[in-house]
């Protein structure tokens, strides 16, 4: 009897391991298709995916080096998790400081550098409300006037979360998808069903970030006295 129990327990562990491997394979494949519909946008690209994590894309778009990374945010208590898309355009910009614009700040934005920036700036009256501006240089040394039309356009979308402009380029953060509400409320699991990025969405976000870079470059030199 004792040996039979050990054998059954061993068999049970094998079954669990096989189920885990199967589920992991399915989950990896589901998440791995996130960028399938928009790969043709890039002149060249490289996808990396560790285990069952979401894939990350690095490549070139319109002559710019870009990086597109999904990020799951489930830090806010009692709030349905979000799948954020971090779209970065890498380009040397003629500014010395960094400026970060964050919409609806809740102090749970672990992906944002806002807390590390020492200065809080007063946003222009015409800019969307609920927008927090943090920087490491005074407003006079930052291209706020150049950013004005981009800020108004980007943050007019309720899914827009952040715009970060630094000497190394521009990053925007956008909500790609919200988690399944019922599954999260009952099981506290962040499940994003059939998550796929559309060509239209990715192209729009890349174009916005590229245009910010282009306008900052065209606007001249800031904060280099």
pLDDT averaged per 10 residues in sequence order, the chain, 225 residues: 61 54 58 88 93 90 95 70 93 95 90 94 89 94 94 95 97 84 51 81 97 91 50
Sign of the alpha-carbon dihedral angle for 27, 28, 29, 32 = positive
**Looking at residue 223, what is its pLDDT?**
47
Domain around 70: 33-219
- Alpha carbons 78 and 21: distance in angstroms, whole number: 31
- Alpha carbons 60 and 92: distance in angstroms, whole number: 15
**Looking at residue 225, what is its pLDDT?**
38
**Looking at residue 106, what is its pLDDT?**
86
- Alpha carbons 137 and 162: distance in angstroms, whole number: 18
**Looking at residue 50, what is its pLDDT?**
86
Nearest to 31 by CA among 158, 225, 199, 177: 177
210 occurs within a structural domain: yes
21 occurs within a structural domain: no
- Alpha carbons 158 and 85: distance in angstroms, whole number: 14
In the block, tokens 């306008």 appear at 215
**Looking at residue 196, what is its pLDDT?**
85
In the block, tokens 């007063």 appear at 122
**Looking at residue 108, what is its pLDDT?**
85
16 occurs within a structural domain: no
28 occurs within a structural domain: no
**Looking at residue 18, what is its pLDDT?**
47
Nearest to 209 by CA among 124, 126, 150: 150
114 occurs within a structural domain: yes
Nearest to 69 by CA among 51, 89, 44: 89
Give phi and psi for 223, each to the nearest 5: 60, 30
CA R_g for the chain:
22
Q: Are the CB atoms for 42 and 60 separated by under 8 Å?
A: yes
Domain count across the chain = 1
**Looking at residue 224, what is its pLDDT?**
46
- Alpha carbons 70 and 87: distance in angstroms, whole number: 9
């Amino acid at each position: 009897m004792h040996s039979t129990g050990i054998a059954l327990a061993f068999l049970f562990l094998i079954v669990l391991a096989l189920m885990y491997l199967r589920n992991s394979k399915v989950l990896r494949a589901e998440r791995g298709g996130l960028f399938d519909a928009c790969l043709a946008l890039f002149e060249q690209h490289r996808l990396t995916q560790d285990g069952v994590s979401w894939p990350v894309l690095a490549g070139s778009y319109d002559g710019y080096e870009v990086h597109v990374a999904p990020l799951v945010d489930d830090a806010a208590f009692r709030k349905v998790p979000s799948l954020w898309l971090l779209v970065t355009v890498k380009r040397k910009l003629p500014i010395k400081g960094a400026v970060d614009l964050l919409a609806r700040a809740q102090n749970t934005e672990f992906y944002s550098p806002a807390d590390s920036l020492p200065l809080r700036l007063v946003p222009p009256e015409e800019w969307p409300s609920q927008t927090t501006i943090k920087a490491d240089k005074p407003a006079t040394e930052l291209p706020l006037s150049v950013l004005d039309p981009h800020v108004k356009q980007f943050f007019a979308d309720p899914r827009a979360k952040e715009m970060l402009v630094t000497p190394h380029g521009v990053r925007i953060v956008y909500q790609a998808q919200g988690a399944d509400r019922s599954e999260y409320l009952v099981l506290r699991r962040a499940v994003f069903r059939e998550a796929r990025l559309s060509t239209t969405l990715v192209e729009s976000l890349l174009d916005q970030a590229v245009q910010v870079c282009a306008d900052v470059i065209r606007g001249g030199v800031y904060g280099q006295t």
